[in-house]
């Protein structure tokens, strides 16, 4: 083989491998960027959750004691209903005083 044929063969060989090499570098770079973006999103999510919890705490501190009790009671009741349970537990229903019906008094005429 002559030097010209060798150089042409080498040139074509480089031409064939060059796109593969450049694509691999790009894919690795995109994967690293995707990882960084994912980490940043996780961090933002954690920060948002932390801020939300602090806002809830601040809101509860503003309320009066009676209001806090009422909020807690209604939240527990709501959670029970959402879980498919009755609003009041069995023993509370069993031993609670039921409202009595008032019978109408007969009128004397």
Q: Tell me: the pLDDT tens digits for 47-93?
A: 999 999 999 999 999 999 999 999 999 999 999 999 998 888 887 88
Identify whether 12 is part of a domain: no
Task: Tell me, yes or no, whether 71 and 48 share the same domain.
Answer: no
- The whole-angstrom separation of Cα 32 and Cα 27 is 9
Identify whether 10 is part of a domain: no
Contact 63, 71 (CB under 8 A): yes
The runs of H, that is alpha helices, within the chain are 3-62, 65-82, 90-95
Task: Tell me, yes or no, whether 67 and 87 share the same domain.
Answer: yes
Structural domain boundaries, residue 74: 63-93
Identify whether 35 is part of a domain: yes
Whole-model pTM: value is 0.46
Identify whether 3 is part of a domain: no
Task: Tell me, yes or no, whether 23 and 40 share the same domain.
Answer: yes
């Amino acid at each position: 083989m002559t030097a010209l044929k060798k150089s042409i063969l080498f040139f074509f060989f480089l031409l064939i491998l060059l796109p593969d090499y450049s694509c691999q570098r790009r894919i690795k770079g995109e994967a690293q960027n995707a990882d960084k973006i994912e980490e940043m999103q996780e961090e933002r999510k954690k920060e948002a959750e932390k801020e939300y919890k602090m806002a809830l705490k601040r809101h509860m501190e503003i309320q009066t004691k009676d209001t806090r009790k009422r909020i807690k009671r209604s939240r527990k009741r709501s959670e029970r209903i959402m879980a498919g349970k009755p609003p009041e537990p069995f023993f509370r229903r069993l031993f609670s005083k039921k409202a009595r019906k008032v019978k109408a008094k007969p009128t004397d005429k």
